[in-house]
Amino acid sequence: MVNQQKDTEQKIMNAAKDVFQQKGMTGARMQEIADKAGINKALLHYYYRTKEKLFEKVFEMAFSIFIPKMQEIMLSEKPVFEKIEFFIENYMNLLTKHPYIPGFVINELNRNPQILVNIFEKNVQIKENKLFEKFDNQVQAEVQMGIIKPIDTKNLMTNIIGLIVFPIVARPIIQGIMFENDKKQYDAFLKQRKDFVIDFIINSIKA
């Protein structure tokens, strides 16, 4: 039955996502993924022939979660300030739902930067629509118009994403040192940061 098939495939993907994102490619065990999916290990290899192939699927899905919203916001007709506000708001919410993904992606890309090239080759549209260039043009246009202080867009983007992502990937160390490992306190910290980061960025660039 097709439903059974889809179900098994889904159970595998969910289990694989959990295990790979928590333990990384080298730390993940096929047996653990099979157990978590409630199936035989041989069935894992029946659906995804190798660990490598299963990992690639998981990585692609993790990576692609953050693409559509980015495109939607960046390609909209809003002015820069609004785009930045939407971007920060949306991505911080997205990260609350998927806190393991950024660390997972960053770590695996450090292990093997080639993965990114493969993803771009498979999924041309991501690279092709040149999101960054478009945003850069808009920023520099608003700089000319005197709305924004002169700023390099690459530095600006790095700042925005860094301020969003860093507290998530470095959570264990920040929570440990500055919050005495208090989980609830850190969750509250992350929550208040949404408005804080927006104000921080906007204030820093408005003319």
Partner DNA sequence: TTTAAATTTGACCAATTGGTTAAACCAAAT
Partner DNA sequence: ATTTGGTTTAACCAATTGGTCAAATTTAAA
Specify the residue for token string 């157990």: 35
* Count of C-beta atoms within a 10 Å radius of residue 198: 20
CA dist., res. 73 & res. 169, Å (int): 23
Residue 149, both tokens: 């202080």
Q: Among residue numbers 186 through 205, which ones bind DNA (CB under 7 A)? A: none
- The neighbouring-strand residues paired with 148 are 206
Q: Among residue numbers 46 through 85, which ones bind its own copies (CB under 8 A)? A: none
Nearest to 186 by CA among 170, 201, 197: 170
* Count of C-beta atoms within a 10 Å radius of residue 29: 12
Q: Among residue numbers 30 through 69, which ones bind DNA (CB under 7 A)? A: 30-31, 39-43, 45-46, 49-52
Least Å distance, CB 172 to DNA, is 23
Q: Among residue numbers 1 through 20, which ones bind DNA (CB under 7 A)? A: 1-5, 8
Residue from 13, 15, 16, 28 touching DNA (CB under 7 A): that is: 28
Residue 204 interacts with which of its own copies, DNA, none, CB < 5 to 8 Å by class: its own copies
Nearest to 61 by CA among 79, 43, 48: 48
CA dist., res. 76 & res. 2, Å (int): 39
Which residues contact its own copies (rule: CB under 8 A)? Answer: 22-27, 100, 103, 105-107, 109-111, 113, 116-117, 120, 132, 152, 154-155, 157-159, 161-163, 165-167, 169-174, 176-179, 181, 189, 193, 196, 200, 203-204
Which residues contact DNA (rule: CB under 7 A)? Answer: 1-5, 8, 28-31, 39-43, 45-46, 49-52
